[in-house]
């Protein structure tokens, strides 16, 4: 029984392992430098404080200041990306159902306060998109079904 002879020496393999490790470390550093972090700046802090005050005034539970800054930043994040897009509206409408799954799912009349948080976010972070979204909300069948 004969064994095959290796084509590379231990030294050659160690050089290759070292180069691969070096390249992975360099690529990791580049990825970390290029990763778009949500920077906590003055505008993001001001808007987060404004949103917290508006939610408090509306009687809603408020997330922490850091959570709001982390999610919405200074531009409203995903909510302001395009709140009037058909997919965004369909996602919102899919949450206004009776809770049944499959063919039993039916739309329901929801409380007026259901969309209040999103309206406040759009009002503070992207007011230019508010009129069209407000029109959409006004067309929804809402009522004071939850009471006080």
Whether 2 is in a domain gets the answer no
pLDDT confidence of residue 38: 47
Place of tokens 């969309």: 115
- In total, how many domains does the chain have? 1
Q: Which residues pair with 142 in a beta bridge?
A: 110
Evaluate whether residue 28 is within a structural domain: no
Burial class (CB in 10 A: 0-12, 13-18, 19+), 136: middle
Q: Considering the domain boundaries, does residue 111 fall inside one? A: yes
Assessment of whether the complete model's pTM goes beyond 0.95: no
Domain limits for position 94: 44-143
Q: Which pLDDT tens digits describe the chain residue by residue (148 residues)? A: 556 566 778 888 999 999 999 999 999 998 888 776 545 588 889 999 999 999 999 888 889 998 998 899 888 988 999 999 999 888 888 888 888 888 888 888 888 888 888 899 999 999 999 999 999 999 888 887 766 5
Is 75 within the bounds of a domain?
Answer: yes
pLDDT of residue 23: 97
């Amino acid at each position: 029984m004969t064994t095959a002879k290796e084509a590379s020496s231990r030294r050659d393999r160690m050089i290759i392992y070292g180069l691969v490790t070096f390249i992975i470390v360099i690529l990791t550093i580049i990825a970390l430098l290029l990763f778009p972090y949500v920077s906590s700046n003055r505008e993001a802090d001001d808007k987060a404080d404004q949103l917290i005050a508006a939610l408090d005034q509306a009687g809603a539970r408020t997330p922490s200041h850091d959570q709001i800054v982390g999610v919405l930043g200074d531009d409203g994040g995903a909510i302001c990306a395009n709140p009037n897009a058909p997919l965004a509206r369909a996602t919102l409408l899919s949450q206004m159902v009776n809770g049944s799954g499959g063919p039993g799912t039916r739309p329901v009349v929801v409380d007026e306060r259901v969309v209040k948080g999103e309206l406040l976010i759009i009002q503070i972070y992207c007011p230019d998109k508010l009129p069209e979204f407000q029109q959409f909300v006004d067309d929804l069948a809402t009522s004071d079904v939850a009471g006080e």
